[in-house]
Amino acid sequence: MKRINVHKVVINIGVGRSGEPIDKAKNALLELTNQQPAVRGAKKTVRDFGIHKGEPIGVVVTLRREPAIEFLKRIIAAKKNVLKASSFDDYGNISVGIHEHIDIPGTKYNPEIGIFGMDVNIVLTRPGYRIAKKSRRSAKIGKTHRINREEAVEFFKQEYGVEVE
């Protein structure tokens, strides 16, 4: 029950405006993940940036199971097998930024799409975490069963050969 798994990998591209850039970002994520991205709207209006509440400003894809692990291996290769210690939070989740999506191995530059940066969030779980999410008779996850920062770092070192600095 203490075995740690990759639950999901969430890839987010924030464009900041609607229209053609959103379509290009959707195509970039579709090309990277072979999965249809979802469009996300602005949470509030920001006049200085010309953004209105509900206006589409980003795209997101959630990968689970095998596609998540395959994409995670490519992301770690793009980061040259080095992750910062500040990328890990207290609950064992990891957030990594990619400056240019063409840095990911197996991706070629497409002039119709351009170049996008992205945020990649990795969520780790253990067997039994479902008890906190289910609607009927849900319960809290015990303190000793939660994943902490040190366990997440050790998992990435052992499973993926990552150096943490």
Distance CA 75, CA 95 (A): 11
Distance CA 53, CA 74 (A): 34
Q: 5-164 belongs to which CATH class?
A: alpha beta
Give the C-alpha distances (Å, rounded to integers) separating 165 from 45, 59, 84: 38, 30, 5
Q: Where are the domains of the chain?
A: 5-164
Q: Residue 42 is which amino acid?
A: A
Between strands 5-14 and 38-41, the pairing is unpaired
Nearest CA-CA partner of 83 in 68, 71, 72 = 72
Burial class for 107, CB neighbours closer than 10 Å (0-12, 13-18, 19+): middle
The reported pTM is 0.83
Distance CA 25, CA 66 (A): 23
Each residue's pLDDT expressed in tens, for the chain with a length of 165 residues: 888 889 999 999 888 777 788 888 888 888 888 889 988 888 888 888 777 887 888 899 999 999 999 988 888 888 888 888 888 888 889 998 888 877 778 777 877 777 888 889 999 988 888 878 889 998 888 888 888 888 888 888 888 888 888
